[in-house]
């Protein structure tokens, strides 16, 4: 099986605790250079999956393939090429950022110390590098976690909810950092999150997990197509309104969502014309509004709205 | 292995663990310094400074407080990874979990050696200061006793490590330490020979051998069974630690 295009693949990955299946038959496919958004509600199985990828917990069944080889027997070689934050960026609180990175540098067998300054500058912590980590805010710890994950120049970054605790400005900066890392260094990034807009803005591929099952893996373009905008029109007679729009404006891409409501996926910039056409044909128009299935709607749709 | 050991030492910078070491060192120095006080025999002649008495007192303190201190030190070194939620990161390094365990146990051994060595150095230094000469055979006896305290104390360390791994906290070790030290205090006050059968009290064996003027003297008949128990305790608990460290799923780190 030739799988070198893929940095990470899982085959029927399953984790079971007694009778409870936490991750069920997961087949993940992540290509080199992807920013892969791993999207799911809290408790969906994201962190458990990431823990299995890092070898922190053992799968009940299934296989993990990292960099073209199975994880069993090659775990340490694979881990050399991965940077990660799993769930919470843990640090030795009595030590400074530099000391913590120094421990990481030593454990990764890295020689030069200059790289520490470089990553601390990248995440905006250079000025606080000698402060003890116990005095850091959660946002600063997240940044330091990202710095540590980047320190040994990994090929794959696995980041579990990396923007937890960051302020909006920080989220924007970190998002840009991920985009730059993928573009400039070709790093493959997996970002798990329950925040739909966060994933929407950064990921080029999205995997949606719900109740332990990977429901869908789609690329950004496909997702955009599926999360189209539309005009929602509330009318007195939806059947006649549909007929009039078809006949007078040539509208074909629409559907009736419920009695009295039409959803139109074309002529989005012609709401005045639609209003006039319907009114002139004796159909009362109560409301016309531009709306759209965003990722949230789409997510709720495919997860059954739970 | 050395880089992991060095990293483990780096983690202890700016921690309170050195206060724990001092908690063992200071009483041992204080009690052994009682031998420095001037003494007069029943016939009124001054008694010379007795180095063997110094080493004995020092050994007594270490064998009573040592088990509690060393259990706490082990608990801190092992359990802090869970309590500070660094265990995820630790096990994400491309290094065998067994290597991490061995490095941690070696750190504990180093701290035991420091705790035992400092009072020994104090005893030598103060003797030199007062007498300007050393009794080499007694010095050798003291050194032998201290080396044996280190080795025998280390025998019970994997059990303490196992407790803190399973409990993911220093608390089980604190409880163990208090119980063991109480038991050690009572047993050693009675100079019981059989007390060394209890693995945490085996270090009392070389200490008792230095005692003078106690009721039962001579070779301790319980040495072989005591060493057998200690070695078995060491091996079984070490295997448990290795298996547990390697097989345990790492969850939230708490």
Same domain, A214 and A242: no
Q: Which residues of chain B have pLDDT under 50?
A: 253-254
Show the tokens assigned to A268.
Answer: 């989005």
Same domain, A112 and A183: yes
Same domain, A237 and A289: yes
Contacts of B204 (CB under 8 A, 6+ apart): B63, B184, B187, B188, B195, B196
* Nearest-angstrom CA–CA distance, A264 and A246: 11
pLDDT band at A293 (very low <50, low <70, confident <90, very high): low
Q: Which of A77, A75, A80, A18 is nearest to A52 (CA)?
A: A75
Q: What percent of chain A has pLDDT over 90?
A: 26
Same domain, A121 and A189: yes
Residue at which a domain ends, from A166, A199, A224: A224
Average pLDDT, chain A: 86
Instruction: Give the residue with greater pLDDT, A297 vs B68.
Output: B68
Residue with tokens 């994880």: A71
Residue at which a domain ends, from A198, A224, A250: A224
Q: Are A86 and A54 in contact (CB under 8 A)?
A: yes
Same domain, A48 and A71: yes
Residue-level pLDDT at A2: 43
Chain A CA closest to residue B85? A90
pLDDT tens-digit map of A202-236:
888 989 888 888 888 888 877 777 777 788 899 99
CATH number at residue A261: 3.30.70
| CB < 8 Å & 24+ apart, contacts of B242-246 | B242/B98, B242/B101, B244/B162, B244/B165, B244/B166, B245/B97, B245/B98, B245/B100, B245/B101, B245/B165, B246/B97, B246/B98
- Start-to-end C-alpha separation, chain B: 27
Residue-level pLDDT at A1: 44
Residue A1 lies in a domain: no
Same domain, A192 and A238: no
Residue-level pLDDT at A171: 83
Write the residue in A54, A106, A148 that is nearest to B7 by C-beta.
A106
Count of structural domains, chain A: 2
Residue A51 and residue B249: Cβ atoms within 8 Å? Answer: yes
Chain A interface residues (partner B, CB cutoff 8 A) = 51, 54-58, 75-80, 82, 84, 86-95, 99, 102-104, 106-109, 132, 148
* Nearest-angstrom CA–CA distance, B67 and A245: 87
CATH number at residue A22: 3.40.50.300
pLDDT tens-digit map of A8-27:
999 999 999 888 888 999 99
Q: Which one of A94, A108, A156 makes the best mutation probe of the B interface by having the most chain B beta carbons within 10 Å?
A: A94
**ipTM passes above 0.90:** no
* Nearest-angstrom CA–CA distance, A38 and A36: 6
Structural domain of A15: 6-224
Same domain, A123 and A62: yes
pLDDT band at A116 (very low <50, low <70, confident <90, very high): confident
Residue A106 and residue B3: Cβ atoms within 8 Å? Answer: yes
Biggest distance spanned by C-alpha atoms of chain A:
79
Same domain, A42 and A171: yes
Same domain, A166 and A286: no
pLDDT tens-digit map of A156-171:
999 988 887 778 887 8
pLDDT band at A109 (very low <50, low <70, confident <90, very high): confident
Same domain, A97 and A148: yes
Residue A76 and residue B14: Cβ atoms within 8 Å? Answer: no
Distances (CA, A) of A266 to A171, A244, A290: 34, 15, 11
pLDDT band at A271 (very low <50, low <70, confident <90, very high): confident
Cα Rg of chain A (Å, integer): 24
Residue-level pLDDT at B239: 95
Q: Is the pLDDT of residue A104 over 60?
A: yes
Residue at which a domain ends, from A208, A224, A240: A224
Interior angle at CA A233, CA A227 and CA A238, nearest 5:
115
Set of chain A residues whose Cβ sits within 8 Å of the Cβ of B96: 76
Of A100-109, A296-305, B29-38, B143-152, the least confident: A296-305
């Amino acid at each position: 099986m030739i799988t070198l295009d893929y940095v990470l693949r899982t085959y029927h990955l399953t984790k079971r605790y007694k009778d409870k299946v936490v991750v069920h038959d997961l087949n993940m496919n992540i290509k080199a250079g992807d920013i892969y958004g791993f999207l799911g509600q809290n408790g969906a199985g994201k962190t458990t999956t990431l823990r299995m990828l890092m070898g922190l917990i053992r799968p009940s069944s299934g296989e993990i393939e990292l960099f073209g080889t199975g994880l069993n027997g090659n775990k340490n070689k694979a881990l050399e090429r991965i940077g990660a934050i799993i769930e919470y960026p843990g640090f030795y609180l009595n030590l400074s950022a530099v000391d913590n990175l120094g421990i990481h540098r030593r454990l990764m067998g890295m020689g030069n110390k200059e790289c520490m300054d470089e990553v601390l500058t990248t995440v905006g912590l250079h000025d606080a590098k000698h402060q003890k980590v116990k005095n850091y805010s959660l946002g600063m710890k997240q940044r330091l976690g990202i710095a540590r994950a980047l320190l040994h120049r990994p090929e794959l970054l696995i980041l579990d909810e990396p923007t937890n605790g960051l302020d909006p400005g920080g989220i924007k900066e970190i998002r840009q950092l991920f985009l730059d890392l993928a573009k400039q260094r070709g790093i493959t990034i997996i970002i798990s999150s329950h925040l739909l807009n966060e994933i929407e803005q950064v990921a080029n591929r999205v995997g949606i997990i719900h109740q332990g099952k990977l429901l869908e893996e789609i690329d950004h373009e496909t997702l955009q197509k599926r999360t189209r905008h539309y005009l929602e029109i509330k009318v007195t007679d939806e059947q006649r309104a549909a007929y009039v729009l078809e006949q007078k404006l040539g509208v074909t891409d629409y559907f009736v969502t419920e009695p009295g409501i039409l959803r139109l996926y074309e002529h989005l910039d012609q709401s005045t014309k639609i209003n006039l056409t319907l009114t002139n044909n004796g159909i009362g128009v109560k409301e016309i509004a531009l709306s759209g299935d965003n990722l949230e709607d789409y997510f709720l749709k495919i997860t059954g709205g739970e | 292995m050395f880089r992991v050991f060095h990293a483990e030492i780096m983690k202890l910078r700016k921690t309170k663990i050195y206060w724990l070491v001092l908690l063992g060192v200071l009483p041992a120095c204080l009690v052994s310094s009682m031998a420095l006080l001037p003494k007069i025999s029943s016939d009124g002649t001054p008694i010379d400074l007795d180095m063997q008495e110094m080493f004995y007192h020092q050994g007594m303190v270490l064998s009573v407080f040592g088990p509690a201190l060393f259990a706490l030190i082990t608990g801190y070194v092992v359990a802090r990874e869970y309590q500070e939620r660094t265990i995820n990161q630790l096990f994400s390094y491309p290094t065998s979990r067994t290597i991490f365990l061995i490095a941690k146990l070696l750190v504990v051994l180093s701290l035991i050696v420091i705790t035992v060595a400092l009072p020994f150095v104090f005893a030598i230094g103060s003797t030199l200061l007062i007498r300007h000469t050393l009794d080499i055979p007694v010095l050798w006896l003291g050194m032998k006793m201290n080396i044996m305290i280190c080795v025998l104390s280390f025998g019970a360390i994997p059990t303490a490590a196992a407790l803190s791994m399973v409990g993911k906290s220093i608390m089980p070790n604190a409880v163990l330490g208090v119980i063991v030290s109480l038991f050690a205090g009572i047993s050693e006050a009675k100079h019981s020979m059989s007390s060394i059968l209890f693995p945490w009290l085996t270090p009392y064996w070389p200490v008792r051998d230095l005692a003078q003027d106690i009721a039962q003297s001579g070779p301790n008949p319980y040495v072989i069974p005591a060493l057998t128990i200690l070695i078995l305790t060491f091996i079984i608990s070490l295997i448990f630690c290795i298996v547990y460290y390697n097989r345990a799923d790492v969850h939230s780190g708490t």
